[in-house]
Structure formats: structure tokens, C-alpha cells
């Protein structure tokens, strides 16, 4: 039985994206480790059983060339959309208005590397 979800994201600047996840989304840094190439890898807790692992994309290209490098489509769910929208707006230069999409209240934003993430209301 699956007990935990770990998402691996491949980015250009691990430190910058890590800081964004911590500041804008209140992610907790759990671990930082240097892979063999000297870049950094950072693990964040987003929810009790959900972690996000940030890897330098060049490290993945070199050591795992078979892995897809595309940023996945991510939708996070929250109960206090208005406050979260306000908080993320402090750290992202690209945040959409809160709107109704297919019967769900949502907004989206870009991280520092222009990867887009959606937030929906529970």
C-alpha cells in the first residue's frame, strides 16, 4: 500500500526555486544533499505525506538521460484560496486572478523559472 508521495522536479537553479517554495508556499526544507557533480538537491515537505525533491536539471541530464525533463502539471488544493493568492503574489511576478474554471475556484502562478502551478479551492 502506498503511504507517501515524493515528486521530483528538475530545475535550473535549485536554491532559487527552493527559496520560492519555502517563502511562497510554506514548504519545510527537510534535507539538502550534494550529488556527485557538486550541484545541490533539496527535499521539502509540502504536506504530511507529500515531499518535493528539487534536482538540478543538468545533473539529471548527465546521470539519468532516460528521464523526462518536462515540468509536470501540478495542481495543489487549498481551503483558504484568497490568503494563499495574496501570499504567493508577494513572491511571484506572474499570478492569475482567482476565477471559476469548470466549476472549481482556481488561480495559477509561475515559479522563478516560469513553471506554472495551479491552486484549486477545496
Cα–Cα distance between 44 and 112 in angstroms, integer?
17
pLDDT means per 10 residues in the chain (122 residues)? 96 97 97 88 94 96 95 95 97 97 96 97 96
The CA–CA distances, whole Å, from 64 to 55, 57, 73 equal 11, 10, 21
What domains lie within the chain, and their CATH numbers? 1-70 (3.10.180.10), 73-122 (3.10.180.10)
Instruction: Kindly state the cell numbers that stand for 99.
Output: 476565477
According to the model, what pLDDT value does residue 35 have? Answer: 84
Closest C-alpha among 48, 51, 3 to residue 29: 51
According to the model, what pLDDT value does residue 5 have? Answer: 95
Please provide residue 3's backbone torsions phi and psi, each rounded to the nearest 5 degrees.
Answer: -120, -15
Amino acid at each position: 500500500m502506498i503511504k507517501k508521495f515524493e515528486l521530483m522536479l528538475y530545475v535550473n537553479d535549485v536554491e532559487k526555486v527552493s527559496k520560492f517554495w519555502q517563502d511562497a508556499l510554506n514548504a519545510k526544507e527537510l534535507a539538502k544533499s550534494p550529488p556527485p557533480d557538486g550541484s545541490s538537491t533539496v527535499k521539502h515537505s509540502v504536506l504530511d505525506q507529500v515531499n518535493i525533491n528539487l534536482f538540478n536539471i543538468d545533473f539529471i541530464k548527465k546521470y539519468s538521460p532516460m528521464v523526462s525533463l518536462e515540468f509536470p502539471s501540478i495542481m495543489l488544493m487549498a481551503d483558504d484560496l484568497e490568503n494563499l493568492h495574496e501570499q504567493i503574489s508577494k513572491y511571484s511576478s506572474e499570478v492569475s486572478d482567482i476565477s471559476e474554471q469548470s466549476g472549481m475556484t482556481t488561480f495559477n502562478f509561475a515559479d522563478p523559472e516560469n513553471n506554472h502551478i495551479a491552486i484549486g479551492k477545496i
